[in-house]
Amino acid sequence: MRIETLAQDGCFAPTLIAATLRTTKEEVAQTVGLGRDALMRTSRIQSSKTQKRLREMVEILNRVEPRFGSALVAYAWYRSEPLAGFDGMTAMHLVQEGRAADVMDYIDAVDAGVHA
């Protein structure tokens, strides 16, 4: 996913992200751990917390997309594949808990050949 295609007026645009992932803004909000209203109101979309969570999800998907061959398969992995060493939690669950850095570290470790 090209980041510039997901932004509008200098911010990540939930509508563009949802369209790219063939889902809804409501589902995008849920997968990053935000309430529905966070992606419906312009002032909330532009908040630092909302933009941070959207950026984290996009960064994670961009890191794993080459491995899976498409953004849609990367998004399916993000939502459903339990990560080793995280008690069955998925990347989505970790991002929802504010632990995106743990997901990035996990991906880096796997890419380096370290098995988590």
From first to last of its 116 residues, the chain has per-residue pLDDT tens of 777 788 888 889 999 999 999 999 999 999 999 998 888 888 889 899 999 999 999 999 999 999 999 999 999 999 999 999 999 999 999 999 999 999 999 999 998 888 65
Paired residues of 97 in beta bridges: none
Whole-prediction pTM: 0.89
The pLDDT of residue 36 is 83
Write down the domain spans for the chain: 3-111
CA 79/CA 31 separation, integer angstroms: 7
**Alpha-carbon 92 to chain mean position:** 7
The pLDDT of residue 116 is 52
Burial environment of residue 44 by CB neighbours within 10 A (0 to 12, 13 to 18, 19 or more)? middle
The pLDDT of residue 66 is 94
**Please, which contacts does 32-35 make with residues 24 or more away whose CB atoms are closer than 8 Å?**
32/56, 32/57, 32/95, 32/96, 33/95, 33/96, 33/97, 33/98
The pLDDT of residue 115 is 65
Q: 33 CB contacts (<8 Å, ≥6 apart)?
A: 53, 95, 96, 97, 98
How long, in residues, is the chain? 116
